[in-house]
Amino acid sequence: MALVGILGKRDQGKGEFGDISQVPNEPSLKRTDLLELLDALPTYISIISPQMTVLWANSALKRALEGGVGRPCYEAYEGESGPCKGCLLERALATGRTETWIQTLRSPGIGNVQTLVQAVPLKAMGFDIPGALKVSTDITPLTSRLRQLEISQREYRALFEGIPCYISVQDRDFRIIKTNGLFRRDFGRATGRRCYEVYKGRDIKCEPCPVEKTFTDGRIHFSEETVRKRTGEPMEVVVYTAPVKDQVGQTFAVMEMSTEITQVKTLQRELASLGQAVAITAHSIKNLLMGLEGGAYVVKSALKRQDPELAQKGWEMIREGVDLASNLVRDILLISRHREPEFSEVDPSDLARQVVKVFMKKAEDLGIGLDLETPGKRTTLWCNPKAIHTALANLVANALDACASGSTFKMPRVILRVWEVEQERAICFQVQDNGPGIPKDLQEKLFKEMVTTKGASGTGLGLLVTHKIVKEHGGRILFRASSGGGAVFEVILPQRP
Amino acid sequence: MEVSQRRVLIIDDDPRVTAYLATLLEDKGYVPCVSNDAEEGLQKVRQFNPDVIVLDILMPKKSGVQLFNKIKGDEGLAKIPVIILTAIKDYMIEDFRQFFASLRVKRPFAYLEKPVDPEELIAAVERSFGAAN
């Protein structure tokens, strides 16, 4: 129905809408003014009859619906052929109360428009007219923003949860208030607990604490830490702490982001140790070369001087140099080769006896007692005899060298003992000497790095080789200082792997 | 001073090195004396009264650096030139040079890397006499 039509009826003071000449509390506002005002508003406004017919529509709605007046409300607004299920406008008319809902207005020209609808019974507005005023506000921009916000939140959550770093957010009391997926996997549910307790199993805050630093200066801090997973496994991490600020720029929480670098650190240590090994090997080779060059020079000089004694000395130097070179090469090959050892069953006492036999002359020459103690009964060991021989020979040679370098006792002595560790079904080889012992700083490096107490004549490879052989046999090697000075090495091998 | 009277003390834990250098120096007309132990080396410095000392820097027990400090810290021995011998890598020699430069004691006369070039050693020994005189 045209505005003019409604105005006409209104002017008569009666008709379908009855008398709306008196707008309550607004006596100065004329009906024409009211309808013109509604017509001019940018929202979609209509008057719907109790039979759900659109009696009047403002310009904005008529433009959107390309007409619509005289058609059923459900058809004009939504293109439906029948009344909407649970029609709220109907309810508003029945109850006399305003109803609000969200409706998609299907406009042939603009497309779908999300609207917030308010249906107000005209009677509730003080008009004695059946029907309702339906005001629909376009909320499409708002709903699209809400949808975008929802998507962003979902993306943020997925990112936070899925990021391959450990993230925790702590408050000023170092209490964890938020964690991500990886964190929960490796540290468990920690919300409410203190970070130092969860990451490090400590009772008090760490010193220095990167989280505290960020709280103090509001900046990003970086540190390397060793933390413990909930399984107890240690893990080296690089930690970044960043402030979480409120609208006024105050830091109210700190985000701690940790990345595991255990493998990097292990590699770093291995490279450092490799570098050191290369340096020590180069040092050994230089000493070797000097010995060989020296031997050659001494032989040459002896021939010139016709001094057989000196020639013999020079020759010994060369021979010793060649021996050292071949040992060095053998050790380097043993260390670097990965091969399956050839196993056979042997009597460990026989093995030990052979090793002692090899060193007996050297021990006598050096004035060192070399003894063997074996169990009375025959036992067996499943091993690579050549490799175990090398390992024991390294230990005995070291013990003899240690005694030769100055024993603290009157009678320097090396003992190789063999016994069966029955409860472990293992064999223990023990090499004990009463030499000067191994300095404390070197003890920690034993079996890990090339360690020597022999200066130019030692390469430090021997113990590494021994360690490798023992590990290949599934055994272990132990070191302890002997009670009366000197060193004790024990190689414990399972009788059968 | 006659070459034949010049005395050179060689201190190195490796007997092959001392035997080699002693033969070399003897061939060149010097009077060598050897020690394979840093502690014994200090006694030999006092007994033998050398004109120059050839000292290995890396030795077990007492290091060459410690022995060097003892020699240079002793008023009677400090003037004896010391030639440092080492098998450490050449770039580390610079570190040693700087380390000695940082010490308050006198500096070594020369640094030679193992394996030693015999001519270089003789040249360094010769120069040291010039410096001492």
Q: What is the pLDDT of residues A5-39, one digit of tens each?
A: 443 344 444 444 444 444 455 455 566 777 888 99
pLDDT in tens, B59-106: 665 677 788 888 988 888 989 999 988 776 555 566 666 666 666 557
- Looking at beta carbons, which residues of chain A come within 8 Å of B114? 286-287, 289-290
Residue A272 has pLDDT above 80, yes or no: no
Q: In what order do the strands lie in the sheet with A176-179?
A: A176-179, A166-170, A251-260, A234-245, A221-228
Contact A290 B20 (CB under 8 A): yes
Residues on chain B touching A294 (C-beta within 8 angstroms): 16-17, 19-21, 23
What's phi and psi for A12, nearest 5 deg? Answer: -80, -15
* pLDDT exceeds 60 at position A390: yes
Backbone angles phi, psi at A131, to 5 degrees: 105, 180
Q: What does the alpha-carbon distance between residue A408 and residue A419 come to, in Å, rounded to a whole number?
A: 27
CB nearest to B60's CB, from A279, A298, A405? A405
* A428 has pLDDT over 90: yes
Please report the pLDDT score of residue B89 as a whole number: 56
The mean-pLDDT minimum among A17-26, A379-388, A476-485 falls in A17-26
Cβ contact A118:A100 at 8 Å = yes
Q: Which residues of B touch A293 (CB under 8 A)?
A: 20, 115
Q: So what's the pLDDT on residue A453?
A: 57
CA distance A185 to chain B (A): 48
Mean pLDDT across the stretch B7-12? 94
d(C-alpha B128, C-alpha A459), whole Å: 33
**What token pair was written down for A268?**
């770093």
pLDDT tens per residue, range A110-140 = 899 999 999 999 998 888 889 999 999 999 8
Average pLDDT estimate for A459-478: 81
Residue in chain A nearest B20 by alpha carbon: A294
Q: What is the pTM of this model?
A: 0.46
A399: left (phi over 0), alpha (psi -120 to 50) or beta: alpha
CB-based contact, B21 to chain A, within 8 Å = yes
Enumerate the residues of chain A whose CB falls inside 8 A of the CB of residue B56: 456
Residue A467: pLDDT above 80? yes
Instruction: State the pLDDT confidence band at A143, using cuts at 50, 70 and 90.
Output: confident
Token digits of residue A135: 């005001």
Rounded Cα distance, A108 and A105, in Å: 10
A282 to chain B: which residues are within 8 Å by CB? 89
Q: Model confidence over A202-240: pLDDT tens digits?
A: 999 998 999 999 999 999 999 999 999 999 888 999 999
Q: At A288, phi and psi to the nearest 5?
A: -60, -50
A141, pLDDT greater than 90: no
Tell me what pLDDT residue A278 has: 74
Angle at A121 between CA A119 and CA A125, to 5 degrees: 115
Mutate to test the interface with A, among B11, B17, B23, B56 (most CBs of A within 10 A): B23
The mean pLDDT value for A171-196 works out to: 95
CB contact under 8 A, A301 and B27: yes
Cβ proximity of A50 and A87 under 8 Å = no
- Which residue, A409, A413, A387, is CA-closest to A400? A413
A150 touches chain B (CB under 8 A): no
Q: What is the pLDDT of residues B10-55, one digit of tens each?
A: 999 888 899 999 999 999 999 999 998 888 899 999 999 999 999 9
Partner B contacted by A321 (CB < 8 A): yes
CA distance to partner chain A, nearest, from residue B23 (Å): 6
Half-sphere exposure of A193 (CA within 13 A, CB side): 16
- From B23, B27, B116, residue closest to A290, measured CB to CB: B116
Determine which helix (DSSP H) or strand (DSSP E) holds A399, and give its type and residue range: helix A385-404
Of B19, B27, B60, the CB nearest to A454: B60
Pairing of strands A54-57, A44-48: antiparallel
ipTM of the complex: 0.80
pLDDT reported for residue A193: 96
CA distances for A102 relative to A47, A114, A143, A144, angstroms: 18, 7, 11, 14
The pLDDT of residue A7 is 36
- Predicted confidence at residue A1, as pLDDT, reads 41
